[in-house]
Amino acid sequence: HFLTMQPVTRDVEGDITDIVCEEGKVQVHVSSGTTHKVFTLQEEFLQFSVAIDAKDIHTCVDLLANIENSPMLDSMKDQLLDLSIECFDLQTAYNYAIAHGNSNLAECIKSVSVHEESESLSRAKLCDLIF
């Protein structure tokens, strides 16, 4: 499996006073006593996480196509690659392995794809062959 960046989580003290969605960002306003903080979340990252959880590969691909120069982009591609393999979407897995420069994995996926067409493979067997 691939090493992926984990989302950053923070303990937030206070009450959420407002959530504002505009221009592709979600701002969460938090107040605690006299302190007011605003946390900005990017909407496409939230949508991508939801699509990964729903195993919606096509939405993930569409979202990644619109994200440019983000430090999270490689991690998101790794998550999509893992999901593609898990869901038996070998064409997407192959494309993202190539795009990531992982030619060994791409060749393995390609050979598994040919092998899979000639005999019925279980998902467990597929994962054993790839990993």
The pTM of the full predicted model, rounded to 2 decimals, is 0.64
In sequence order, what E strands does the chain have?
15-22, 25-32, 35-42
Q: Which residues pair with 32 in a beta bridge?
A: 35
Residue 2: the pLDDT is 40
- Min mean pLDDT across 8-17, 47-56, 81-90 is at 8-17
pLDDT tens-digit map of 105-128? 888 877 776 655 544 555 555 556
